[in-house]
Amino acid sequence: MLNNFELLPLHPTQILKTMYGKIKKHLQNELTTIKEAGLFKNERVIASPQSAVIKLNSGQEVLNFCANNYLGLSSHPKVVEAAHKGLDIRGFGMSSVRFICGTQDLHKELERRISQYFKTDDAILYAACFDANGGVFEPLLSEDDAIISDALNHASIIDGVRLCKAQRYRYSNANMEELEDCLLQSQTQRFRLIVTDAVFSMDGNVAPLDKICQLAEKYDALIMVDECHSAGVVGKTGKGITELFGVEGQVDIITGTLGKAFGGAIGGFTTGRKEIIDILRQRSRPYLFSNSLPPAVVNAGIAVFDLLETSTVLHDKLVANASYFMETIKKEGFDIKKSQSAIVAIMLYDAMLAQNFAAQLLDEGIYVIGFYFPVVPKDQARIRVQISAAHEKEHLNKAIAAFVKVGKALNVIK
């Protein structure tokens, strides 16, 4: 008997073409809409390692003020050396998920170091924090439970919540009255989990974790914080928001990334209560069904914690750099959001102005990006500056001078 395929005279690639035509047209229209709205994202291409000073593929050398390289570890010699060593001693790839044959001594050591750093029971590694957040809710909570989420939480938290059947509650950014309302409304649910970013990436403000802890205790709720822009940055020695508020041990779940302050390559983690981590190892889908981190990345991660546990010089320099930049740029007349992190939101409000401002700064040798709708609310366009321990005083001064020059030219400051 002939099946349908044998009856068709078309070659498979022709079939594909016929079927692609409709969606191709649709996608082209979508792309045109994005471009016409001025929202198309072009990627600038870098032809050097990540650092304070980078070279673009045009040959232009610029100062980088938009990397998540808060501690300057992305190209730190000790981190690069540890990555080489990881490659030498444990090879290139694991070719396996963790529970089959993807767990080396290095993975266990890095997990131990992460939980030591955050003063938690245990930690579990993921390919990225996007996966950590994507795989944390569904194994722990069901339709009998409630997730209470800050409105400005990261996209990966929003997606993770979508994958879970728990009831959803949302409060305006850092609004503790609304959080209390959500807690009251969800009292009939079995478990309640409050989830928040530690540092909100668009404004640089921190979540009021002291008050969240009080409310969690009063209304019997668990707490999860995402440390991505906070770990290595916030707190007396940079150990994140639990150190900042002195609430170590009170947060049940912490998620974080190795892709920002901690070396900037790839990798994420969840750290917290023992039983929670134990269940994630059994049930978390991005952990069970996705490849184990490569040894070079893992060994470099261990080196990052070696550096941070033995000295606070990088964090001290970051804090000094951030406060110098914020104070000076404010004195020059710029309107900046109140920040307790290494993120400085310089408000311009208008999307075209923000794009124009960033383009002119690039001509002055300063690499920053304008942020506008839909990344931030309409009429809240801004330039987000990220300070690093890799910046020297002369870099900060050059950036400030460029902001002043362009700010005057574009009538943003007098």
Ligand X SMILES: *Cc1c(COP(=O)(O)O)cnc(C)c1O
The least distance separating ligand X from the CB of residue 297, rounded to whole angstroms, comes to 12
> Are the beta carbons of 311 and 304 closer than 8 angstroms?
no
Tell me which of 118, 130, 245, 287 binds ligand X, using CB under 6 A: 130
Q: Whose Cβ is closer to ligand X: residue 129's or residue 351's?
A: 129
Pick from 128, 307, 368, 402 the residue near ligand X by CB under 6 A: 128
Site for ligand X in 40-79 (CB under 6 A): none
Please report the DSSP string for 174-228 in residue order: T-HHHHHHHHHHTTTSS-EEEEEESB-TTT-PBP-HHHHHHHHHHTT-EEEEE-T
CA distance linking residue 288 with residue 400, whole number of Å: 47
* Residue with Cβ nearer ligand X (259 or 294): 259
Of 179-208, binders to ligand X (CB under 6 A) are: 197, 201
Stretch that binds ligand X, among 123-131, 240-248, 310-318, 406-414 (CB under 6 A): 123-131
Q: Write down the least CB distance from residue 368 to ligand X, Å.
A: 17
In the range 89-118, which residues lie near ligand X by CB under 6 A? none
Site string for ligand X, 254-293 (x = CB under 6 A): ---x-x--------x-------------------------
**DSSP string across 295-349:** HHHHHHHHHHHHHHHH--HHHHHHHHHHHHHHHHHHHTT--B---SSSEEEEEEE
Smallest separation, CB 152 to ligand X (Å): 10
DSSP secondary structure string for all residues of 361-384 = HHHTTEE-EEE-TTSS-TT-EEEE
To ligand X, the closest distance from the beta carbon of 271 in angstroms equals 14
Alpha carbon distance 389, 262 (integer Å): 12
Tell me the closest approach of the beta carbon of residue 339 to ligand X, in angstroms.
Answer: 15
CB-wise, 170 or 398, nearer to ligand X?
Answer: 170
Asked if 129 touches ligand X (CB under 6 A), the answer is yes
- The SS3 assignment for 269 reads strand
Site string for ligand X, 145-174 (x = CB under 6 A): ---------x-x------------------
**Minimum CB–partner distance for residue 407 and ligand X (Å):** 28
User: At CB < 8 A and 24+ separation, what contacts does 345-349 make?
Assistant: 345/202, 345/203, 345/204, 345/382, 345/383, 345/384, 345/385, 346/382, 346/383, 346/384, 346/385, 346/403, 347/380, 347/381, 347/382, 348/381, 348/382, 348/383, 348/412, 349/379, 349/380, 349/381, 349/382
Map residues 224-243 to x or -, x wherever contact with ligand X holds by CB under 6 A.
--x-xx--------------
Per the DSSP assignment, residues forming a β-bridge with 349 are 381
> Active-site residues: which are they?
201, 229, 260
Q: Return the number of the residue (129 or 224) whose C-beta is nearest ligand X.
A: 129
Total chain residues near ligand X (CB under 6 A): 14
Bridge-partner residues for 272, per DSSP?
122, 253
Query: Contact positions toward ligand X, by CB under 6 A?
Result: 128-130, 133, 154, 156, 197, 201, 226, 228-229, 257, 259, 268
